[in-house]
Amino acid sequence: MDSTDGVINLIHLADRPGTSGQSVSVRILGRYQPGILTGHDFLDCEIVINAESVNGNFAVTLLPEDLEDWEGSLATLESGRFAGWLVSGRTPSMKFEPDEGGGLWVSVHDGPSSGVTVKVPLFVSPTWVIEQRDLLDQARGAYPREVVETSPGAYEWRRARNV
């Protein structure tokens, strides 16, 4: 698992060794409201950008649906097409633009808060989509969905658990 001090990378896109060393990551810090039924499956995260001219962190709370959307974005990216993620307007959004030379442009736009947009060119490995799928699987394994909506506005634990 790609983890340090309990932090798990949901996304980690980085330049290949020998290039500029830039990276963009989405790090899962933990559950947003652990043990609270209606907020337990939300994930407290941060988008981290390390680039030559800028370093930045953007706080993000991910919903279970956001992980499903990321899986769909990976399918789009695998076909070599542009994809957006977290485009609801409630969080910073991300855009991924593969280029013909095997590179990837990653943009983070913090529309809800600062209005800042950072666009980073990355020289990723040829297997970067597979690597991101592996990270998604690891994140789902570490933070499985444990709450189910039984009817509109009614929730219960998916299985017996110790809180």
Q: What is the mean pLDDT of each run of 10 residues along the chain (163 residues)?
A: 73 85 96 95 97 93 97 96 96 96 94 93 94 98 94 88 52
Determine the pLDDT at residue 1.
43
Determine the pLDDT at residue 14.
95
Determine the pLDDT at residue 29.
98
CATH level 3 topology of 3-157: Secreted effector protein pipB2 fold (3.30.2450)
Cβ atoms of 96 and 120 closer than 8 Å: no
Between CA 69 and CA 139 the distance in angstroms is 14
Between CA 88 and CA 117 the distance in angstroms is 16
Q: Which residues of 26-46 are buried (b: 16+ CB within 10 A; e: fewer)?
A: bbbeebbeeeeeeebbbbbbb
Determine the pLDDT at residue 17.
72
